[in-house]
Structure formats: structure tokens, C-alpha cells
Structure 1
Amino acid sequence: MSASRGQARFGVLVPFTNSNLEPDMALLRPDGVSLHFARMGGYDEDEIPDADQMHALGAADLDEPLRLLTGVKPDVVVYGCTSATLTHGPAFDRDLAARIAQASGAKTVTAAGALVAALTALEARKIAFASPYVPTINDMAIHFLGQMGFDTVHRADFEGTLDNEGQGALSPREVFALGQRADHLEAEVVVLSCTDMRSVEVLEDLEQALGKPVISSNQAMVFQAMCLLGLRAPITGFGQLLASERS
């Protein structure tokens, strides 16, 4: 691992309209890890982030943002959009991770793959699902997770259609309420999907209110990145997933 400053370097690919991933990563940053970001496009900021827009982002050329990001020689590259690969399916998600790893020489995490890794670590099979996405993307996300062996017993769609700015502008209180609406007695874990939704700030309180683990895209990405790099120290204040020492 890179040793010029601390234990490791996280390189993060961020959708160019995303306003919350970088602040969240700063909150979640493990001790001794430096954070490095590059922005990626491939979608229209003025359009509703529907399945077509997110499909286009997933298929966008990453050569230039990856070239710029790998200038710092990150130990892990994090692909910071969940819906971009949820709309393509598990095979595409795995292939994208492999292509990023080959191009960067770093270990690779995708947001969608990180949700799978987190649910697997928590040994959950029945989940509740919530996001700010349009319902069609939620359908695709639930199908994706179903293909990976997770049964969505309840979901909460956001009431109304949010543009790119609107997704990022949701308050933690609104995210908390969305998570509450998603929960179900049979759900073992509540999933809050979207790297631009302010979920990280409510994870602890929502877990206490619901009495079960809650995972978010950004929390799950940090968890998987730490596992890949052998970073074991707990991170407290952001849910059960990060609070235990990793094996």
C-alpha cells in the first residue's frame, strides 16, 4: 500500500453533479487514509436521473477520469454511483470493476457491489429498500439484489420525482423518514441506496429507532474498501457495519 502519507489512499470516482459523496467520505475516512477524487460524466445534469440517464453513466468512458485519478497511485478505486450499474445488472457491475482494476492497478469497489458485500457480511437475506430514485430504477435495483440472493420484502419510493440537485438536497430528516417507511418486520437490514443521498448522517439514529442494521451506499463502499486493504480498526458513529473490527 502507498506509504507517503498514512496507511492507504482511496481514489473515488464521483458523478459530476454529486454533492454529498465527498463530504460523506470525509466523515467516514479511516485513520491513516487519504482521499482523492475525480469527477465523471456521461449523463445530462438537466435531465431527471432516470434509468436511461443512469444507464448512460454506467456505460460512459472512464479513461480520462481514471487517468487523472491514478496519478496519485491509489490503493483502491471506488466507483461512486450505485444506480449506474444497478441499471445494467450484476455481470456488468463485475465487469466494470475488473476493467477499473486492470486500468488502475488498484483494488476496486463499486457502489452496487459494496451493498452486496455489506449484506453478505451481515448475513442478511431479507431486506427493506429505499432510495431517491425513480420507481423504474428501484425495480431494477431490487431485481439486481434479487439476482445476488437478497429478497426485498418491502420498499419505499420517494414521493415525487427528484432531479440531480434534488436528490442531493434531501435533508437527513427526510432520509430518516424514508428509511422508516421502508422498514418491515421481516426485513433483517434496511438498505439506503444512493451515493448522493445524505444517509450517513442518520445511520446510527435509524438503527436505534428500527432495532436492526441499516446500510448506505457510501458506508458500504468504505467497508468493502477497508476489507480489501486489510484495514481492521472499527469506525464508530455510522452504523453496525463499520463498528466491528474486520477479520
Structure 2
Amino acid sequence: MSDNTKTILLGMVKPTSDSKSRADLEALLPGDIEMTYEYMGFAYKSLDEFRQAMPAYGEKVAALAAKGCDLIHPEGAPPFMLQGFAAEAAYIKQWEARFGIPVFTTGSTQVAAMRALGIARFVGLTPFAGELGDAFRQYFTDAGLDVLSMGKPVDGADDVYGLTTEQIRDRIIKAYRAVPGDSQALYILGSDWRVLDVLDDLEAALGVPVLHPVLVRCWYILTQLGRGRGRAGHGRLLAAMPPFEASG
């Protein structure tokens, strides 16, 4: 797939049809990567909705394979992280064996990015608390990473997605600095956090890489396609384009 003259068909399973992150990723990827979509239609109202989603994900992956996709990305952190790191890896292996197509999830790209950057300890921010937040922490712990914190940067029932870019930037900086320990990165869980335009500012303020799902997704796709040229203005990960290192 390193032949840049070949049009690549990227299959995406999106959690919802109204996510702004779809356009964000399309704007970052080169024009010869075409994207085709399936949608899960999550209501985000219960954990059971996520826990019971694997059969539907399997159907969507099969539909994308039937379209002739070169890569398939079943997106969405909560459903897979609730399954656990090992179970997620088993699903990926099963789908790749069945369809003969590389498959990658949201979580697997983020673990790969941390390994590529040499990150061992990080602070995580998420719009979800409680059991979901605990599941996210456990997922990365099982991947061999030290999670110094995994929490919301806003109080109580406040909605991260209802804040302006400037408001969420300020809350992210405050929340990150409040966590003790020698963190090597900030991890953001949630593709629709509107911070892409201020990512360089965040990294300058915090002094560490900021791993946003859309940018991590872009890095993973381009790296898998052999397109490792760095690009400025989108954070340290895309500037450096470190090579992907497959786990043992």
C-alpha cells in the first residue's frame, strides 16, 4: 500500500452520523484516500448499548469489506474499551483473518501512537466519568501504560462538547497541571473535542505531546500506507510522524 499512485479506499464505522470529526479527518488526509462510511447510531444513553455492540460492529466491518476497502476502522472508544484490551485485540485478529484486510480501532491507534513516541506515563481526559472512566483507565493499564489520571476536565454534569475552543483549552490546561507525577503526554478521549485549532498552543503550554483521536487516526492511517512525511501545525505526532511499531 505504499504506492502513492493507487487510490486507497478507507472504510470507517462511525458511532454516529453527525460527528464533526468526520470532516476533520477528511481535511487532514490526502485526496487519493477515499472514505466510505457505515454508522452505528449510538444514542449514548447506557453502557449496555456499548457492551452489546460487537455483533453490529462485525456486520459493519463485513459491509465495508464487501465494498473492497483497503483499510477498515471501526471507530468509537467506549464499546471496545469496555470489552477490554485483550478482547479488542481478539476482535481485530478475527476480522483481519476473516476478511484479509487490516483493521484498527480507536484504542489500538492510541496505544500505537504512545509506543511510537516512547510514552510510558500519561494523563487522560474524557467526557465520561464513573464506570466508563474506570474502563478507559484499565484498558491502557492492560496495554502496559501508566495512567496517572483519567477524568473529566469539567465539573459534575457539565458538557465538554458545549464549551468553546478557548474554554475547553483553559480547562484542559488546568486539569492537566493539577495531576501530580511525571506525565509524558496528555491523552484526549473523544474525537469531537474542538481543540484541533489550538493543539500547538496546548502542547506549548503543557510541554508534552497532546494525543487527540483525529490526529492519532491520521498518523496511523498515513503510517500504515507508508506515507511518513511530517506536517507542521497539527501537534508533535504529525510533525514527527514516528514509525509504527507493531506489538509483539
TM-score under structure 2 normalisation? 0.83
Deviates more, 1:189-198 or 1:139-148: 189-198
Mapped pair 1:100 → 2:104:
no
Alignment of 1:54-69 (within 5 A): 54-57=50-53, 59-69=54-64
Deviates more, 1:14-23 or 1:88-97: 14-23
Mapped pair 1:173 → 2:173:
no
For the Cα contact (< 8 Å) 1:14–1:37, is it kept in 2? yes
State the shift of 1:127 in Å.
0.3
For the Cα contact (< 8 Å) 1:55–1:88, is it kept in 2? yes
After superposition, the Cα gap between the structure-2 partners of 1:62 and 1:111, relative to the gap in structure 1 and judged at 3 Å, is same
State the shift of 1:54 in Å.
2.4
Partner of 2:20: 20
Measured in 2, the distance between the counterparts of 1:195 and 1:104 equals 27
Tell me the number of residue pairs that the alignment of Structure 1 and Structure 2 aligns. 239
Letter of the 2:192 partner, please give it: D
State the shift of 1:53 in Å.
3.0
State the shift of 1:101 in Å.
2.2
- Secondary structure of the 2:56 match is coil
Measured in 1, the distance between the counterparts of 2:17 and 2:130 equals 21
Partner of 2:108: 113
TM-score under structure 1 normalisation? 0.83
Measured in 1, the distance between the counterparts of 2:39 and 2:163 equals 21
Partner of 1:228: 224
Partner of 1:183: 176
After superposition, the Cα gap between the structure-2 partners of 1:177 and 1:101, relative to the gap in structure 1 and judged at 3 Å, is farther
Measured in 2, the distance between the counterparts of 1:224 and 1:61 equals 24
Q: Name the structure where strand makes up a greater proportion of residues.
A: 1
Letter of the 2:19 partner, please give it: S
State the shift of 1:3 in Å.
7.7
Measured in 1, the distance between the counterparts of 2:239 and 2:8 equals 20
State the shift of 1:17 in Å.
5.0
Mapped pair 1:209 → 2:202:
no
Partner of 1:144: 139
Consecutive unaligned residues of structure 2, counting only runs of 5 or more, are 244-248
Mapped pair 1:192 → 2:188:
yes
Q: Which digits, 9 at most, give the CA deviation of each residue in 1:98-131, with x for residues without a partner? A: 2332344321110011111011011111100101
Letter of the 1:173 partner, please give it: E
After superposition, the Cα gap between the structure-2 partners of 1:152 and 1:63, relative to the gap in structure 1 and judged at 3 Å, is closer
After superposition, the Cα gap between the structure-2 partners of 1:25 and 1:152, relative to the gap in structure 1 and judged at 3 Å, is same
For the Cα contact (< 8 Å) 1:70–1:104, is it kept in 2? yes
Measured in 2, the distance between the counterparts of 1:199 and 1:148 equals 26
Structure 1 residue runs of 4+, over 6 Å off?
A: 2-5
Measured in 2, the distance between the counterparts of 1:34 and 1:83 equals 26
Partner of 2:237: 241
State the shift of 1:181 in Å.
3.4
Letter of the 1:14 partner, please give it: K
State the shift of 1:151 in Å.
1.1
Q: CA RMSD in A?
A: 2.7
Letter of the 1:75 partner, please give it: D
Give identity over the alignment, percent. 21
Letter of the 2:170 partner, please give it: A
Measured in 2, the distance between the counterparts of 1:181 and 1:122 equals 24
State the shift of 1:235 in Å.
3.1
Q: Which digits, 9 at most, give the CA deviation of each residue in 1:135-168, with x for residues without a partner? A: 3211111111111111122343142347xxx665
Partner of 1:8: 8
For the Cα contact (< 8 Å) 1:14–1:39, is it kept in 2? yes
State the shift of 1:219 in Å.
1.7
